[in-house]
Amino acid sequence: MPAKNAKRYKTKPFCWLNSINTKKSKAMTPPNRKKRLLWQIPFLLFLIIGTVYIIKQQQDAPYQHDRGMVFGTTYSIIYQSNDNLNEEIMAALNAVDMSMSTYNKGSIISQINRNEQVKPDKMFEEVFFLAQKVSHETNGAFDVTVAPLVNAWGFGFKSGVHPTPQTIDSLKQFVGYQKVTYVNGSIKKQDPRVMLDFSAIAKGYGSDVVANLLKRKGINNFMVEIGGEIVTRGISEKRLPWKVGVTKPTDDSLNVNQELQTILNVKDKAMATSGNYRKFYYKGGKKYAHTIDPLTGYPVQHNILSSTVLANTCAEADAYATAFMVLGLEKAKKVLEKHPELMVYFIYSDKNGNNAVWFSPSLKDKIQN
């Protein structure tokens, strides 16, 4: 029984659902919605106007064209920018030259070949480790120690006469990518006669260096080409994807005939081509290609006439293009089974001596004709 003086409170039943619905109804009333929209509209307009301005600025910027000679070959660099960056581009390329050019007596690679004490720079390290990786994955078909054999056959940085079998056997004693390692920041050779030659990867790496420079500058549309090794990004001056031709193989050592085999759509990719039809000489009525098989010591006699590789970096594309020339069609296909990230376009000589084509299925949509 309640106490006599106790106060009686009249309470209402509490319902959670009613409470939530009441709060929600208050929050979502038309005036509150209008306030929220009024706050968002200026912000959205700012984003739209800013985006349109940036796009217009990019579209209005002219395309710069830089051309010249580097690494003993030509270069062509096209990029969309209000500023001409030729001075910075040449500084970057000169740094590559000072690191890995065998024609430059003061370069790091030249000093290593003379067995002088020198510490490789970061660029040298990157190329050396990539070269070793590709050598391992192609069972030695790519080999940066092939220089003595290249020189003996007359394709390297000094001319030579037709080597005898005895000479080749002697040179092979200090050729092989396993004969050189990188230990504690320096190059170690098993034999002091081992020589390094980055010519089959340096142009591609140089293209990568310039491409990375342009990216750091915020440039979204460019094509870098050094000696036929290419890196692209974005679109061309015609507002279309970059298109690159693959030359039809001909016995044209002077490179006068430029008839195209096909045109590839190369967007945001790197591309390199190696071909026996471009560099060769005749001696005793026989044609000798510029690609030397490091394992045999002789110029390759395989059926691939042209090897074009598309990859994420041009240095990688450059190295694999050379390796596939050494391996030949069937062995190259086996390597590609382990590397689906690579796309290739091979022109080869079939059993009847006619030119034929084989390309990666993933490349089909990039072939223009």
Average pLDDT over residues 350-369: 88
Please give the pLDDT value at position 121.
97
Comparing 125-129, 205-209, 272-276, 336-340, the range with the smallest average pLDDT is: 272-276
Q: 60 in a domain, yes or no? A: no
pLDDT above 80 (res 160)? no
CATH number of the domain encompassing residue 147:
3.10.520.10
Cross-strand partners of 299: 292
Structural domain boundaries enclosing 169: 69-366
**Beta strands of the chain (E only): which ranges?**
63-70, 73-80, 180-183, 186-189, 222-226, 229-233, 243-247, 260-265, 270-275, 280-283, 286-289, 304-311, 343-349, 355-359
d(CA 306, CA 264): 14
Residue 5 has pLDDT above 50, yes or no: no
* pLDDT at residue 2, as a whole number: 46
User: In terms of C-beta density within 10 A (0-12 exposed, 13-18 middle, 19 or more buried), how is residue 101 classed?
Assistant: buried
Rounded to 10 degrees, the C-alpha dihedral 92/129/204/329 comes to 180
Confidence band of 107 (pLDDT split at 50, 70, 90)? very high
Q: Is 284 contained in some domain? A: yes
On whether residue 34 sits in a domain, the answer given is no
- Quick one: pLDDT at residue 272? 97
Report the pLDDT value the prediction gives residue 352, as an integer from 0 to 100: 85
Q: How many domains does the chain contain in total?
A: 1
* Domain contains 63: no
Q: Amino acid letter at 98?
A: M
Averaged confidence pLDDT in the chain: 84
Domain assignment present for 8 = no
Is the pLDDT confidence value at 36 over 90? no
Q: Whole-model pTM? A: 0.81
Say if 13 falls within a structural domain.
Answer: no
> Where residue 288 falls among pLDDT bands split at 50, 70, 90?
low
Q: 358 lies in a domain?
A: yes
Asked whether residue 42 is assigned to any structural domain, the reply reads: no
